[in-house]
């Protein structure tokens, strides 16, 4: 078995791309597109996901000192949708509860499509790849049966028949080798999106709760007094 596997691996060369027919070229192009999409989305989501709890603790500390402008600056300098949603809440910190909630919801609605962008294309590649491979398999088998039906010693040789069989098998193998990692990549990215969405929801609820209770209930004089104590004599 080891000798057979070694012999098969030895046969894997660029010539197989020709034996696989045009369908294998289509699968390679889909794989290249999928790899680019996966890399771009991974980098984007890595940048979008921040330490939400630490970020919000810093914002709350600034608000406790009545440094609203400084808190807004921190939100602007922090990448990701969590900072954008918190910034929307801070911009309406002194509005009534309804306007505050609507502003936060609008900010979340704006940020969500950016997180899910291009995931549908990656899912489509994972779903369509087996169908493209099946098409290549059918075309390869059709070529084989055509060699049979043509008759004559020239068309009935093993070399003539193996061309269609190679095309069919390589199309099937290529489609599976593309569909499996594409499915895994899609579910991985989808999980990252859900994690970011959970951070957005948690941060939005926490900042609204703080603005509607502690921030508005605390007198401005307390914050001024605390700042004076921090500044020292």
pLDDT digits (tens, 9 = 90+) for 27-56: 899 999 999 999 999 999 988 888 888 989
Asked if 45 and 151 touch (Cβ cutoff 8 Å), the reply is no
Helices (H), the chain: 2-11, 15-19, 21-48, 52-64, 68-77, 81-91, 97-116, 119-150, 158-210, 216-217, 220-231
Percent of the chain with pLDDT over 70: 76
The domain tally of the chain equals 1
For residue 62, tell me if it sits in a domain.
yes
For residue 212, tell me if it sits in a domain.
yes
For residue 40, tell me if it sits in a domain.
no
**Structural domain for 81, as ranges:** 51-219
pTM for this structure? Answer: 0.75
Q: What is the mean pLDDT of the chain?
A: 79
For residue 169, tell me if it sits in a domain.
yes
For residue 56, tell me if it sits in a domain.
yes
For residue 24, tell me if it sits in a domain.
no
Q: What is the mean pLDDT of residues 168-181?
A: 88
For residue 14, tell me if it sits in a domain.
no
For residue 230, tell me if it sits in a domain.
no
């Amino acid at each position: 078995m080891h000798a057979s596997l070694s012999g098969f691996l030895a046969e894997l060369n660029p010539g197989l791309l020709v034996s696989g027919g045009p369908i294998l070229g289509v699968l390679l192009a889909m794989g290249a597109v999928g790899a680019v999409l996966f890399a771009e989305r991974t980098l984007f989501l890595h940048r979008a996901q921040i330490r939400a709890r630490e970020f919000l603790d810093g914002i709350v500390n600034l608000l406790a000192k009545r440094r609203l402008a400084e808190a807004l600056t921190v939100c602007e300098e922090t990448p990701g949708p969590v900072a954008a949603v918190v910034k929307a809440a801070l911009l309406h910190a002194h509005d009534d509860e309804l306007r505050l909630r609507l502003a936060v919801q609008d900010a979340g609605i704006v940020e969500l499509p950016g997180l899910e962008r291009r995931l549908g294309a990656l899912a489509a590649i994972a779903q369509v790849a087996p169908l493209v491979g099946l098409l290549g398999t059918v075309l390869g088998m059709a070529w084989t049966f055509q060699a049979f039906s043509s008759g004559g010693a020239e068309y009935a040789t093993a070399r003539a028949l193996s061309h269609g069989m190679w095309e069919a098998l390589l199309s099937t193998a290529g489609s599976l080798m593309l569909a499996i990692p594409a499915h895994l990549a899609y579910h991985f990215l989808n999980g990252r999106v859900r994690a970011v969405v959970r951070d957005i929801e948690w941060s939005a609820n926490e900042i609204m709760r703080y603005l509607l209770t502690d921030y508005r209930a605390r007198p401005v004089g307390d914050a001024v007094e605390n700042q004076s104590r921090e500044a020292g004599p």
